[in-house]
């Protein structure tokens, strides 16, 4: 840590959000940041590029098999357990996502939920030119380098159940041998950015109520790193812990708790067909297709068409929807004399979410019936907590079929979609500059800052807001 005594900007976390902020600072020749990452620099390759398929599947379906898997919290109930957790390494979950490059839904990105200035910059105009969401998608398409110049594969749309399913936009490069990788900010890494790996930030340092640095455990020692600005980009739950500790120390909050934690409400069905019995609407071939479900459904509708080892066509129809923030989702900490405080996650479906589950199931049944051309009742499960306890097994069950079987269902327990967000939202907790109202000099990046998360994968929005915060810090 010899050259890490201080920095103008310290970024806590070297994943999607932190690297996006650092990248924009480098692009603008702004203050040279120090990125403090809790895990090692274990290489910059996406896991589907680096590992054989069987090993990669195990890292996806059984995350504790990954040496970098990390769950720095305890949870109540079954939510935020199982497949839920972080990847403690430089690059973080940017080296594990599957490349779905949808921007946040227009119905979720609007006032008064989001500050007007942020809505404008993301969706209308930013820095005298295109809005941020458009720029990010254009940059991702340039990185993919597909012949058509876009993110969507060249596939015919699928028209089913009143939807027009388009090929899903994927920020993915493919190799001839079948390997593939999704975009990571490490693909455009600036060597001028300083990084401290294996550095665990236990707390934010404050001076008269202002953030002035971080306390870091590294190589068996604890050391303070001074900074003019601190950016929390260490995942929603770790950001929440660090913010709770700081907010409690200033008296800005009475209880060591932040509400608003959400994930996605996601469930689906799997149908199998012999190739000669495939519904004509799916004649376009294998691929992932998506259609917007609209604000009333608060979900995107997906079809994933693939062929299993026995030659059966597997159709995975699923909906991913927005969980609404509220007191039913929270991160709380147990105060202690020394940091870090223990974090406890409590996340359940709110009343709006319970209604959404029912609407999603009705829509899945309708899509399934349209697919088969007749009614096939879907066996949805009703349990005290939403989600399939055996989710990992269900996601691959159809790969072992040698003859078509009846459709079956699955549901992601909250936390398993890895889209946790919402505890430090812009507007209520942060100003338009992404800075905590209560603590000058302390900024937040990533989905913790989303007032609403919408139905889309958060990656495009994370990159867009990271660029916005980087530009703010660069002046």
Q: How far is the C-alpha of 98 from the C-alpha of 182, rounded, in Å? A: 6
Task: Enumerate the domain spans of the chain.
Answer: 6-55+84-147+170-258+418-474
Say if residue 1's pLDDT is above 60: no
> Quick one: DSSP state of residue 441?
T
Q: How far is the C-alpha of 188 from the C-alpha of 170, rounded, in Å? A: 18
Length of the chain: 475
- Looking at the chain, the whole-number percentage of residues with pLDDT higher than 70 is 99
Quick check: bond before 112 cis, omega within 30? Answer: yes
> Quick one: DSSP state of residue 447?
G
Evaluate whether 119 touches 111 at the Cβ level (below 8 Å): yes
CA 139 and chain centroid, separation: 19
Look at the pTM and tell me if it is higher than 0.85.
yes
| CATH number of this structure's domain 6-55+84-147+170-258+418-474 | 3.50.50.60
Average pLDDT in the 429-440 region? Answer: 99
Following DSSP, what letter does each residue of 19-59 receive, concatenated? HHHHHHHHHTT---EEEE-SS----S--HHHHS-HHHHHHH
Alpha-carbon separation of residue 146 from 102, 170, 424 (angstroms): 17, 11, 37
Give the pLDDT confidence score for residue 383 in this predicted structure. 80
Evaluate whether 425 touches 451 at the Cβ level (below 8 Å): yes
Evaluate whether 1 touches 219 at the Cβ level (below 8 Å): yes
Average pLDDT in the 56-76 region? Answer: 95
Contacts of 437 by beta carbon, 8 Å cutoff, 6+ apart: 429, 430, 431
Q: How far is the C-alpha of 215 from the C-alpha of 245, rounded, in Å? A: 12
Q: What is the pLDDT of residues 9-44, one digit of tens each?
A: 999 999 999 999 999 999 999 999 999 999 999 999
Q: What is the pLDDT of residues 116-152, one digit of tens each?
A: 999 999 999 999 999 999 999 999 999 999 777 788 9
Residue 156: φ, ψ to 5°: -70, 145
Alpha-carbon separation of residue 239 from 72, 73, 308, 333, 341 (angstroms): 11, 12, 41, 12, 12
Per-position b or e across 197-231, b if 16+ CB within 10 A of its CB: bbbbbbbbbbeeeebbbbbbbbeeeeeebebbbbb
Alpha-carbon separation of residue 119 from 47, 164, 222, 340, 388 (angstroms): 34, 27, 40, 35, 36
Average pLDDT in the 330-358 region? Answer: 98
Give the highest mean pLDDT range of 140-154, 219-233, 284-298, 381-395: 219-233
> Quick one: DSSP state of residue 229?
E
Q: How far is the C-alpha of 343 from the C-alpha of 346, rounded, in Å? A: 10
Q: Are strands 221-232 and 442-444 parallel, antiparallel or unpaired?
A: parallel
Following DSSP, what letter does each residue of 185-245 receive, concatenated? GGGG--TTSEEETT-EEEEEEEETTEEEEEEEEETTEEEEEEEEEEEE-S-HHHHHHHHHH
Residue 231: φ, ψ to 5°: -110, 120
Q: Determine the 3-state secondary structure of 401 from DSSP.
A: coil
Greatest alpha-carbon span in the chain: 72
């Amino acid at each position: 840590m010899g050259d890490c005594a201080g920095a103008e900007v310290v970024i806590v976390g070297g994943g999607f959000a932190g690297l996006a902020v650092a990248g924009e600072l480098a692009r603008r020749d702004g203050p040279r940041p120090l990125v403090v990452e809790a895990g090692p620099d274990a290489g910059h390759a996406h896991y589907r590029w680096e590992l054989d398929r069987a090993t990669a599947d195990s890292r996806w379906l059984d995350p504790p098999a990954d040496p970098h898997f990390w769950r720095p919290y305890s949870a109540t109930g079954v939510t935020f357990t199982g497949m839920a957790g972080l990847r403690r390494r430089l690059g973080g979950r940017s080296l594990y996502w599957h490349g779905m490059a949808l921007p946040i839904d227009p119905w979720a990105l609007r006032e008064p939920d989001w500050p007007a200035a942020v809505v404008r910059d993301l969706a209308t105009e930013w820095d005298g030119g295109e809005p941020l969401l458009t720029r990010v998608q254009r940059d991702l398409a340039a990185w993919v380098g597909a012949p058509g110049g876009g993110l969507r594969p060249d596939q015919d749309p699928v028209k089913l159940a009143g939807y027009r399913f388009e090929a899903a936009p994927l920020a993915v490069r493919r190799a001839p041998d079948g390997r593939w990788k999704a975009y990571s900010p490490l693909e455009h890494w600036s060597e001028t950015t300083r990084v401290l790996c294996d550095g665990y930030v236990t707390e934010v340092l404050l001076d008269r109520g202002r953030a002035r640095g971080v306390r870091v455990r590294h190589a068996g020692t604890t050391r303070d790193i001074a900074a003019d600005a601190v950016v929390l980009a260490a995942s929603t739950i770790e950001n929440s812990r660090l913010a709770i500790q700081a907010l409690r120390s200033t008296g800005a909050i009475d209880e060591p708790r932040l509400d608003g934690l959400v994930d996605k409400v996601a469930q689906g069905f799997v149908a199998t067909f012999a190739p000669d019995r495939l519904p004509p609407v799916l004649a376009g071939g294998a691929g992932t297709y998506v259609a917007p479900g609209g604000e009333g459904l608060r979900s995107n509708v997906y079809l994933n068409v693939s062929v299993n080892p026995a030659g059966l066509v597997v159709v995975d129809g699923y909906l991913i929807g927005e969980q609404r923030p509220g007191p039913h989702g929270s991160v709380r900490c147990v105060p202690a004399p020394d940091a870090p405080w223990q974090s406890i996650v409590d996340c359940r479906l709110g009343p709006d979410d319970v209604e959404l589950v029912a609407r999603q199931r009705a829509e899945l049944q309708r899509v399934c019936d349209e697919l088969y051309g007749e009614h096939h009742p879907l066996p949805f499960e009703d349990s005290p907590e939403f989600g399939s306890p055996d989710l990992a097994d269900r996601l691959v069950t159809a790969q072992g079929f040698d003859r078509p079987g009846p459709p079956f269902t699955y549901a992601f327990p909250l936390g398993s979609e890895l889209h946790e967000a919402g505890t430090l939202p812009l507007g209520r907790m942060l100003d338009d500059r992404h800075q905590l109202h209560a603590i000058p000099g302390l900024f937040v990046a990533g989905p913790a800052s989303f007032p609403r998360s919408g139905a889309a994968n958060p990656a495009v929005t994370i990159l867009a807001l990271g660029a916005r915060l980087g530009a703010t810090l660069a002046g």
